[in-house]
């Protein structure tokens, strides 16, 4: 047996293992696409934490080993090309540029048998507008938190049935709607758990999303859980990672039981899969 070879391999494994322990912030992954996340390195952590905004919206800034970094949510409507962050570092104000590249999201046709959930009545439309205001208010929350936990575990065990960003055409209508979350199909009653710690900022029953829970993870990172059969948490409740939020259902506009999971970063909907390790995604 080749002892030195074995020793070196063991050492290499130990070093890799150790480095994954010390470099904590590997998620979300940098993917500067429409609906993606850009991770932009800023100044040294020995200097004061800089203030960053993008498209006039405040952006998450966190320490990663030696440097501050901005964790930027890019809207699905973003045009490919050079985008700019506004950085305030003490007395200094400057721009930091990054490039957004295009992504070719797929198109799918969907049939909803309950026609009243596709072509809305005046009453339903008014209800939807009222609810939209509440939903927007929840998404616009900002809470200071130094170390935001942005490494998510899967909130429900099931099949990823519809990806983020998909272009959807309902009942052969002309309009294209974007799928702005990740769908995980699971039977009614399957437990839904918190992918990371945070605070429940809103719960409600809405026309499109049914029974819904909003979690604020800090610094503009907010997650949304839709179509629940049952909600097990209350507003203002602090929750830990893997704590139960409720159960999978089919309330609101759905074609079958599933969790619609959405992630907001600096108020833009981004791909939840960017916040999960490969291991979590294949669980």
Judged by the rule CB under 5 A, the positions of this chain that interact with Zn ion are 181, 183, 260
Q: Min. distance of Cβ 192 from Zn ion in angstroms?
A: 14
Which CB sits closer to Zn ion, 80 or 187? Answer: 187
CA dist 51 and 35 (Å) reads 22
Which CB sits closer to Zn ion, 59 or 254? Answer: 254
Which CB sits closer to Zn ion, 120 or 250? Answer: 250
DSSP 3-state of 26: coil
| β pairing state of 107-110 and 167-170 | parallel
Q: What are phi and psi of 278, to 5 degrees?
A: -55, -40
Token digits of residue 211: 């029974």
Q: Which residue is nearest to Zn ion (CB)?
A: 260
Residue whose C-alpha is closest to residue 198's, from 157, 159, 155:
155
CA dist 258 and 192 (Å) reads 10
Which CB sits closer to Zn ion, 260 or 269? Answer: 260
Q: Min. distance of Cβ 181 from Zn ion in angstroms?
A: 5
Q: Min. distance of Cβ 206 from Zn ion in angstroms?
A: 14
Which CB sits closer to Zn ion, 260 or 267? Answer: 260
CA dist 259 and 160 (Å) reads 10
Q: Min. distance of Cβ 268 from Zn ion in angstroms?
A: 17
Q: Min. distance of Cβ 166 from Zn ion in angstroms?
A: 9
């Amino acid at each position: 047996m080749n002892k030195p070879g074995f020793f070196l391999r063991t050492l290499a494994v130990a070093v890799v293992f150790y480095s994954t322990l010390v470099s904590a912030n590997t998620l979300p992954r940098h993917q500067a696409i429409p609906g993606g996340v850009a991770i932009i390195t800023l100044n040294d952590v020995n200097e004061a934490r800089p203030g960053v905004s993008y498209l006039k919206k405040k952006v998450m800034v966190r320490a990663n080993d030696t440097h501050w970094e901005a964790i930027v949510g890019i809207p699905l409507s973003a045009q490919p090309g050079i985008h700019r962050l506004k950085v305030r570092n003490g007395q200094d104000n400057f721009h930091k540029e990054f490039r957004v590249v295009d992504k070719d999201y797929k198109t799918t046709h969907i049939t909803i048998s309950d026609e009243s959930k596709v072509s809305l009545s005046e009453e339903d439309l008014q209800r939807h507008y009222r609810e939209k205001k509440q939903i927007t208010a929840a998404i616009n929350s900002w809470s200071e938190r130094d170390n935001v936990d942005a490494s998510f575990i899967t909130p429900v065990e099931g099949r990823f049935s519809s990806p983020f960003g998909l272009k959807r055409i309902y009942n052969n209508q002309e309009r294209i709607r974007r799928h702005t979350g990740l769908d995980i199909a699971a039977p009614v009653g399957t437990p839904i758990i918190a992918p990371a710690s945070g605070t429940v900022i809103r719960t409600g029953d809405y026309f499109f999303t049914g029974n819904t829970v909003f979690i604020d993870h800090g610094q503009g990172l907010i997650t949304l859980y839709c179509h629940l059969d049952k909600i097990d948490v209350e507003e203002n409740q602090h929750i830990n990672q893997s704590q139960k939020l409720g159960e999978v259902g089919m309330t609101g506009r759905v074609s079958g039981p599933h969790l619609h999971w959405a992630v907001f970063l600096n108020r833009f909907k981004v791909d939840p899969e960017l916040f999960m390790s490969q291991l979590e995604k294949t669980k």
